[in-house]
Amino acid sequence: MKNNSTETQSAAARWNLDLAAVLRLNATEEVATSYLDLAKLEYLLEQAFYVCSIGRGEAAFLLAFDETADYKNPNFQWFRERLSRFVYIDRVVVAAPRRGQGLGRKLYSDLATAMSISDRRVLTCEVNFDPPNPVSDAFHAALGFRELGRGSPVVGKTVRYLICDL
Protein backbone atom coordinates (compact mmCIF):
# COMPACT_ATOMS: atom_id res chain seq x y z
CA MET A 1 0.00 0.00 0.00
CA LYS A 2 1.22 3.46 -0.83
CA ASN A 3 0.56 6.04 1.82
CA ASN A 4 1.70 9.47 0.79
CA SER A 5 -0.74 11.97 -0.70
CA THR A 6 1.11 12.26 -4.02
CA GLU A 7 0.76 8.53 -4.63
CA THR A 8 -2.88 8.63 -3.52
CA GLN A 9 -3.57 11.49 -5.89
CA SER A 10 -1.92 9.45 -8.62
CA ALA A 11 -4.30 6.55 -7.98
CA ALA A 12 -7.29 8.88 -8.02
CA ALA A 13 -6.01 10.55 -11.18
CA ARG A 14 -5.20 7.20 -12.79
CA TRP A 15 -8.79 6.10 -12.31
CA ASN A 16 -10.20 9.62 -12.94
CA LEU A 17 -11.99 9.78 -9.59
CA ASP A 18 -13.13 12.46 -7.21
CA LEU A 19 -12.47 10.63 -3.93
CA ALA A 20 -14.93 12.74 -1.95
CA ALA A 21 -17.67 12.03 -4.51
CA VAL A 22 -16.99 8.29 -4.35
CA LEU A 23 -17.18 8.33 -0.55
CA ARG A 24 -20.43 10.31 -0.59
CA LEU A 25 -22.02 7.99 -3.14
CA ASN A 26 -20.86 4.86 -1.34
CA ALA A 27 -22.33 6.20 1.93
CA THR A 28 -25.79 6.21 0.33
CA GLU A 29 -25.58 2.44 -0.23
CA GLU A 30 -23.64 1.12 2.77
CA VAL A 31 -26.29 -1.51 3.53
CA ALA A 32 -25.78 -3.07 0.09
CA THR A 33 -22.02 -2.47 -0.08
CA SER A 34 -20.20 -1.65 3.15
CA TYR A 35 -18.71 1.31 4.97
CA LEU A 36 -15.86 3.01 3.14
CA ASP A 37 -13.57 5.70 4.52
CA LEU A 38 -10.75 7.58 2.78
CA ALA A 39 -7.98 5.29 4.03
CA LYS A 40 -9.78 2.17 2.85
CA LEU A 41 -10.65 3.77 -0.49
CA GLU A 42 -7.02 4.70 -1.05
CA TYR A 43 -5.97 1.14 -0.27
CA LEU A 44 -8.59 -0.32 -2.59
CA LEU A 45 -7.52 1.94 -5.43
CA GLU A 46 -3.93 0.74 -5.07
CA GLN A 47 -5.07 -2.92 -5.15
CA ALA A 48 -7.66 -2.58 -7.91
CA PHE A 49 -7.52 -4.49 -11.15
CA TYR A 50 -9.93 -1.98 -12.65
CA VAL A 51 -11.92 1.05 -11.52
CA CYS A 52 -14.40 2.89 -13.66
CA SER A 53 -16.78 5.73 -12.96
CA ILE A 54 -19.26 8.11 -14.43
CA GLY A 55 -18.92 11.73 -13.44
CA ARG A 56 -15.66 10.89 -11.64
CA GLY A 57 -17.68 8.92 -9.09
CA GLU A 58 -20.56 11.33 -8.56
CA ALA A 59 -23.03 9.44 -10.77
CA ALA A 60 -21.62 5.91 -10.51
CA PHE A 61 -18.50 3.87 -9.82
CA LEU A 62 -17.24 0.30 -9.87
CA LEU A 63 -14.22 -1.24 -8.08
CA ALA A 64 -12.90 -4.63 -9.18
CA PHE A 65 -9.98 -6.84 -8.14
CA ASP A 66 -8.28 -9.80 -9.72
CA GLU A 67 -7.11 -12.89 -7.87
CA THR A 68 -3.71 -11.32 -7.13
CA ALA A 69 -5.09 -8.50 -4.95
CA ASP A 70 -3.97 -8.22 -1.33
CA TYR A 71 -7.53 -7.92 -0.08
CA LYS A 72 -8.74 -9.58 3.13
CA ASN A 73 -12.46 -9.15 2.39
CA PRO A 74 -14.29 -12.42 3.24
CA ASN A 75 -16.33 -12.36 0.03
CA PHE A 76 -13.21 -11.93 -2.11
CA GLN A 77 -11.51 -14.69 -0.13
CA TRP A 78 -14.48 -17.00 -0.74
CA PHE A 79 -13.87 -16.75 -4.49
CA ARG A 80 -10.10 -16.98 -4.09
CA GLU A 81 -10.51 -20.33 -2.30
CA ARG A 82 -12.53 -21.72 -5.22
CA LEU A 83 -11.21 -20.09 -8.39
CA SER A 84 -7.69 -19.70 -9.74
CA ARG A 85 -8.21 -16.77 -12.15
CA PHE A 86 -11.08 -14.31 -11.82
CA VAL A 87 -12.13 -10.69 -11.44
CA TYR A 88 -14.20 -9.78 -8.40
CA ILE A 89 -16.51 -6.78 -8.34
CA ASP A 90 -16.18 -5.42 -4.82
CA ARG A 91 -18.72 -2.67 -5.19
CA VAL A 92 -20.76 -0.93 -7.82
CA VAL A 93 -22.94 2.02 -6.91
CA VAL A 94 -25.21 4.15 -9.10
CA ALA A 95 -26.68 7.36 -7.67
CA ALA A 96 -30.43 7.02 -7.10
CA PRO A 97 -31.40 9.83 -9.51
CA ARG A 98 -29.34 8.19 -12.27
CA ARG A 99 -30.71 4.65 -11.96
CA GLY A 100 -32.49 3.19 -14.95
CA GLN A 101 -30.26 5.05 -17.42
CA GLY A 102 -27.94 2.14 -18.27
CA LEU A 103 -25.02 3.34 -16.15
CA GLY A 104 -24.56 -0.01 -14.39
CA ARG A 105 -24.46 -1.81 -17.74
CA LYS A 106 -21.91 0.71 -19.02
CA LEU A 107 -19.65 0.12 -16.02
CA TYR A 108 -19.89 -3.67 -16.46
CA SER A 109 -19.21 -3.32 -20.19
CA ASP A 110 -16.09 -1.23 -19.50
CA LEU A 111 -14.90 -3.85 -17.02
CA ALA A 112 -15.55 -6.67 -19.52
CA THR A 113 -13.39 -4.85 -22.08
CA ALA A 114 -10.54 -4.53 -19.56
CA MET A 115 -10.92 -8.20 -18.69
CA SER A 116 -10.73 -9.30 -22.32
CA ILE A 117 -7.52 -7.31 -22.81
CA SER A 118 -5.99 -9.09 -19.80
CA ASP A 119 -7.32 -12.49 -20.95
CA ARG A 120 -9.58 -12.94 -17.95
CA ARG A 121 -12.93 -14.61 -18.55
CA VAL A 122 -14.56 -15.16 -15.14
CA LEU A 123 -16.39 -12.30 -13.42
CA THR A 124 -17.61 -12.67 -9.83
CA CYS A 125 -19.52 -10.69 -7.24
CA GLU A 126 -21.88 -11.17 -4.34
CA VAL A 127 -25.38 -9.84 -3.86
CA ASN A 128 -27.22 -9.60 -0.57
CA PHE A 129 -29.75 -12.37 -0.08
CA ASP A 130 -30.65 -11.27 3.45
CA PRO A 131 -31.30 -8.40 3.64
CA PRO A 132 -32.57 -8.88 0.08
CA ASN A 133 -31.48 -6.81 -2.88
CA PRO A 134 -33.99 -7.67 -5.64
CA VAL A 135 -32.86 -4.88 -7.97
CA SER A 136 -29.28 -6.16 -7.95
CA ASP A 137 -30.51 -9.76 -8.31
CA ALA A 138 -32.50 -8.85 -11.44
CA PHE A 139 -29.63 -6.78 -12.88
CA HIS A 140 -27.10 -9.61 -12.49
CA ALA A 141 -29.51 -12.27 -13.78
CA ALA A 142 -30.10 -10.18 -16.92
CA LEU A 143 -26.31 -10.07 -17.48
CA GLY A 144 -26.00 -13.86 -17.22
CA PHE A 145 -24.70 -14.26 -13.68
CA ARG A 146 -25.53 -17.50 -11.88
CA GLU A 147 -25.26 -18.50 -8.24
CA LEU A 148 -22.12 -20.39 -7.24
CA GLY A 149 -22.90 -20.54 -3.52
CA ARG A 150 -24.08 -18.68 -0.43
CA GLY A 151 -22.42 -17.49 2.71
CA SER A 152 -22.75 -15.33 5.80
CA PRO A 153 -19.59 -13.23 5.92
CA VAL A 154 -20.93 -11.12 8.80
CA VAL A 155 -23.61 -11.71 11.42
CA GLY A 156 -27.05 -10.79 10.15
CA LYS A 157 -26.15 -10.85 6.47
CA THR A 158 -26.37 -13.65 3.91
CA VAL A 159 -25.02 -13.22 0.39
CA ARG A 160 -25.33 -15.08 -2.88
CA TYR A 161 -21.97 -15.61 -4.60
CA LEU A 162 -22.43 -15.04 -8.32
CA ILE A 163 -20.29 -15.91 -11.32
CA CYS A 164 -20.45 -15.06 -15.01
CA ASP A 165 -18.27 -16.48 -17.77
CA LEU A 166 -17.51 -13.82 -20.36
How far apart are the C-alpha atoms of 87 and 66, rounded to whole Å?
4
Answer whether 0.85 is exceeded by the pTM.
yes
The pLDDT value recorded for residue 2 is 33
List, for residues 118-157, the tens digit of each pLDDT value. Answer: 999 999 999 999 988 898 999 999 999 999 999 998 888 8
Pairing verdict, β 87-94 and 122-130? parallel
List, for residues 4-46, the tens digit of each pLDDT value. Answer: 445 555 788 889 999 999 999 999 988 778 899 999 999 999 9
Cis geometry, peptide bond prior to residue 74 (ω within 30 degrees of 0): no
Q: What is the mean pLDDT of the chain?
A: 92
Of 128, 144, 146, 124, nearest to 136 by C-alpha is 128
Please state the domain extents for the chain: 5-118
Q: Which CATH number fits domain 5-118: 1.20.120, 3.40.630, 3.40.1440, 3.40.1350?
A: 3.40.630
- Check: CB of residue 132 under 8 Å from CB of residue 32: no
